[in-house]
Amino acid sequence: MGLAEKANNIDTKVTLCGIELDNPVLAASGTFGYGREFAELYDINILGSFSFKGTTAEPRFGNPTPRIAECTEGMLNSVGLQNPGVDAVIREEMPNLAKIFKKPVMANVCGGSPEDYAIVAEKLDHCEQIGWMEVNISCPNVKRGGMAFGTDPEAAASVIGAVRKVTKKPVIAKLSPNVTDITEIAKACEHAGADGITAINTLLGMRMDLRTRKPVLANGMGGFSGPAVFPVALRSVYQISNSVDIPVIGCGGIQTAEDVLEMLLAGATAVQVGSANLVDPFACKRIVEDLPEVMKEYGIPELATMTRRKSK
């Protein structure tokens, strides 16, 4: 706890899957890279943690451009999991990350089959600084025509089960909102061995270019994120937290410290800030610094009392 928090008797600490965080604010995967660019602007150790760039077994160049488009109260992206591959991440990114961030970090694991996910997770399991494995089950299942793993309970469970077998670290399933009942996916992941849930990933959306009469994104559709999705994310967190007995990380449209508290009231143990980082690189810093004063304003002396039920 910092001096200001102690002076005001405000405690921002929470516990996520057995690991204590100074505060519940994490930067979401895909919006924070490996932390280097942000570390040039401020001390990123003020964050609770962050989830680094989605990692696959082999290097990926990503989707063709254009792959990002602005929308009212949000943005579309179809980056396509561009990353250097797990071996390069371990060899190059993890040593550099350790120089700028001194806390446990979250790895975001991706793949086209349960076997792919397991390969990535098994290799990352040996990285001491990785505290959690966040499993992105919004990836397309190459064996089932590209349908995302996260849209089917059985497929989601197969991925979580495969990762669970190869890592001793907490496994967190990152869920897609593009389903009929997100609680069924969450329960399937819990039964397969997940230690936590991140909700939500991006909504599926698109924009049309009136001049070309074609979709703005080269891929046609992409993930919609930003403040417009916050009510959907909040609803999902509320439903999931009342359906499973594992902690939930709230993600989707968080812009302010007030949004953080709403997520925790809905049942989240921690939160992830995503698109806000792309609009304002100081977004996470601002939210972390504002949180104690907002807690004081609403008469919340410690966050642990709000999150204790499913923190472990």
pLDDT (0 to 100) of residue 138: 83
Cis ω before 114 (30° cut-off from 0): no
Residue 145 included in any domain:
yes
Of 251, 256, 257, nearest in space to 292 by CA: 257
pLDDT range class, residue 309, cuts 50, 70, 90: low
The string of pLDDT tens digits covering residues 115-136 is 999 999 999 999 999 999 999 9
Measuring CA to CA, how many Å separate 263 from each of 116, 253, 306?
A: 32, 11, 10
Does pLDDT of 140 surpass 80? no
Residue 47 included in any domain:
yes
Mean pLDDT, residues 245-261 taken together: 98
Number of C-beta neighbours around residue 214 at 10 A: 11
Residue 101 included in any domain:
yes
Residue 312 included in any domain:
no
The string of pLDDT tens digits covering residues 70-113 is 998 999 988 888 999 999 999 999 999 999 999 999 999 999 99
pLDDT range class, residue 5, cuts 50, 70, 90: very low
- Per the structure, the complete domain to which residue 199 belongs is given by 3-307
Number of structural domains, the chain?
A: 1
Q: Residue 171's beta-bridge partner residues?
A: 133
pLDDT range class, residue 4, cuts 50, 70, 90: very low
Residue 218 included in any domain:
yes
CATH number at residue 116: 3.20.20.70
Residue 299 included in any domain:
yes
Q: 3-state SS of 18-42? A: CEEECCCEEECCCCCCCCHHHHCCC
Q: Which residues have a catalytic role annotated?
A: 139
- Tell me the H-state helices in the chain: 3-7, 36-39, 86-88, 94-100, 114-124, 153-164, 182-192, 230-241, 257-265, 276-279, 283-297, 304-307
pLDDT (0 to 100) of residue 62: 84
Please tell me the total number of residues recorded for the chain in this structure. Answer: 312
Residue 120 included in any domain:
yes
Mean pLDDT, residues 286-293 taken together: 98
Residue 50 included in any domain:
yes
Q: How far apart are CA 21 and CA 7, in angstroms?
A: 19
